[in-house]
Amino acid sequence: GAVVSQHPSWVICKSGTSVKIECRSLDFQATTMFWYRQFPKQSLMLMATSNEGSKATYEQGVEKDKFLINHASLTLSTLTVTSAHPEDSSFYICSAPDGTGDTEAFFGQGTRLTVV
């Protein structure tokens, strides 16, 4: 199956700083990637759809200025949490279909963000 890799796996940052999370498709090209947020013992909440070469589509209630998404190439999407606060601490997961037109999602291993 297709492989999606996230980096870093975990990060600790200070309040007020920004942190960037990368999502890469290792063996396929992804015109679309999805970013999810998972609170402890809760489901995955879709934050936004990242589109290569164009603006991301954000879900209702997600602050686009807070969570900046850039999809500059067919293998890389980045999520930048700007001016992070403790309430932004969470598990962030990206996924992508494999580019064949199939709708199966392949997931990254997730990034644990802790804001102190």
Partner 1 sequence: AQRVTQPEKLLSVFKGAPVELKCNYSYSGSPELFWYVQYSRQRLQLLLRHISRESIKGFTADLNKGETSFHLKKPFAQEEDSAMYYCALWGQGAQKLVFGQGTRLTINP
- 105 lies in the binding site for partner 1 (CB under 8 A): yes
Closest to 115 (Cα-Cα) out of 92, 79, 87, 91: 87
Q: How many C-beta neighbours within 10 Å does residue 3 have? A: 13
- 111 lies in the binding site for partner 1 (CB under 8 A): no
Q: Which stretch binds partner 1 (CB under 8 A): 15-23, 29-37, 68-76, 77-85?
A: 29-37
CB 111 within 8 A of CB 67: no
Q: Which stretch binds partner 1 (CB under 8 A): 13-21, 22-30, 80-88, 105-113?
A: 105-113
Question: From its phi and psi, is residue 104 left (phi > 0), alpha (psi between -120 and 50) or beta?
Answer: beta
- 104 lies in the binding site for partner 1 (CB under 8 A): yes
- 93 lies in the binding site for partner 1 (CB under 8 A): yes
Q: Which stretch binds partner 1 (CB under 8 A): 10-18, 19-27, 33-41, 70-78?
A: 33-41
- 98 lies in the binding site for partner 1 (CB under 8 A): no
Residues 7 and 92: their CA atoms lie apart, in Å, by 11
